[in-house]
Amino acid sequence: MSDLIPIGEVLKENPRVQELERQGFIIKPKKLDSYLKDFQERTSALPNKSYWESKKVLITGISGFAGSHLAEQLLDLGCEVHGTIRRHAVPMHENIEHLRGRIKLHEADITSAERIYEIFANIQPNAIFHLAAESFVPTSFREPARVTHNNIIGTIKLFEAARRSNAELESIQVACSSEQYGLVDPNEVPVTEDLKKNPFRPRSVYGISKCATEQIAWLYHNSYGVPSIITRGFNHEGPRRGIQFVTSVVHRQIVEILDGKRDKIVIGNPNAIRDFTHVKDTVNAYIILSEKKKFGEPFNISSGKGITIADYVNLAKKIYNIDVEVFVDPQRMRPSEVPLLIGRNEKIFNETGWRPVRSIIDIIKEGVEYFQKHPEMLGIEAH
């Protein structure tokens, strides 16, 4: 821990960020009133239960963070929910243990064509949500070949199965990512779906794999008529987020401070700006776009506002009335950083009526509460 740097020595002023703040695109802990008032008055389109009731749905990566929340929502809508899981030596999948008996699980490597065809033949799904991917960006720097194979080849195998084996399929949603935009020019922020205005400049193998994922979905729709739903999700957060992701890194440390087991907060790049959307809002967007059959075109799933990681920490400290120093660990920095990502969500709102209804306060409180209820997940080193 001797290499930790006080956060004040790392913070940087950015004139473009100051301009974005004046325009209302940046969340500041000291200026929350208008932001929270907007959320109090918000409404959003919601999935239509009569459309989804009794549909057979397959979620790849159901045991993941977003997959588990999506499964909950689809069960509430009356779906028959199936999901793919990886084979584990110990058959425990913490995110979906509470759903045991209500969902049907299928062990599968999504890069195995034989296994994917078998699952399709057995289920005959009406809708697919493709969430199975290696999504932690630093992993794609450590294991680029494995991440590329899993994310790209797995998507091809899934779309080949969709093309060949299921006349009942009404939609196949692919969870793409804001990481595709990568190193955006600050003057392009907030980013739109229009690649003429916001071309892809991915800064990680993960981002590259998601560019390919989107192109596969687009190709199979345009060449074969596969009913592809393309979503570019910005950071989605909330309870059950993996411990290695920045929000959970902060939330766990808040719990340890409240328990008297820690006296500082340690983060990576405090200047990075991210657009955080609550995971429950994000999965609702996936469902609504599938229901509305918005095939073959991309949709940003974002809140439309960004916050620096430093201010995310400051806001968490403010909520829990704690006063500790914050440090930066250089080892938590990416080899090539994406400094600024905020997405416009006007397209999905105009075409479906969806918008996020949960605030960044909800994300922090529910994230902290989750780790308070799961103390066994504290004190584990996140990589």
Share of the chain above pLDDT 90, in %: 81
CA 165, CA 150: separation in Å to the nearest integer?
Answer: 22
Phi, psi dihedrals of residue 158, rounded to the nearest 5°: -65, -45
pLDDT for the residue numbered 305: 96
Within 10 angstroms of residue 315's Cβ, the number of other Cβ atoms is 21
Do 109 and 85 form a contact (C-beta atoms < 8 A)? no
CATH topology of domain 49-236+278-301: Rossmann fold (3.40.50)
Instruction: Say what the pTM is.
Output: 0.94
- Domain spans of the chain, in order of start: 5-40+239-275+306-341+359-377, 49-236+278-301
How remote is the C-alpha of 59 from its chain's centroid? 15
pLDDT for the residue numbered 84: 95
Look at residue 251 and tell me whether its pLDDT is greater than 70.
Answer: yes
pLDDT for the residue numbered 378: 83
Beta strands in 126-258 (DSSP E): 127-130, 171-177, 228-233, 236-237
Average pLDDT in the chain: 93
- When pLDDT is averaged across residues 1-11 and rounded to a whole number, the result is 86
| Token couple for 115 | 């296994």
> In this predicted structure, which of 14-23, 83-92, 96-105 has the lowest mean pLDDT?
83-92
What does each C-alpha distance from 159 to 74, 133, 180, 185, 215 come to in angstroms? 22, 15, 20, 33, 12
CATH of domain 5-40+239-275+306-341+359-377: 3.90.25.10
- The predicted-structure confidence for 311-332, as pLDDT tens digits, reads as follows 999 999 999 999 999 999 988 8
CA 90, CA 70: separation in Å to the nearest integer?
Answer: 24
Which of 233, 353, 226 shows the shortest CA–CA distance to 286?
Answer: 233
Exposure of 206 in the CB half-sphere (CA atoms within 13 A)? 22
pLDDT for the residue numbered 170: 97
CA trace torsion 192, 193, 198, 203 (10° rounding): 110
CA angle 297, 301, 307 (to 5 degrees): 145
- The predicted-structure confidence for 258-294, as pLDDT tens digits, reads as follows 999 999 999 999 999 999 999 999 999 999 999 999 9
- When pLDDT is averaged across residues 121-141 and rounded to a whole number, the result is 88
- The predicted-structure confidence for 151-201, as pLDDT tens digits, reads as follows 999 999 999 999 997 678 999 999 999 999 999 998 999 999 999 999 999
- When pLDDT is averaged across residues 24-31 and rounded to a whole number, the result is 93
pLDDT for the residue numbered 39: 87
CA 18, CA 8: separation in Å to the nearest integer?
Answer: 18
Is the alpha carbon torsion for 24, 25, 26, 28 positive or negative?
Answer: positive
pLDDT for the residue numbered 279: 98
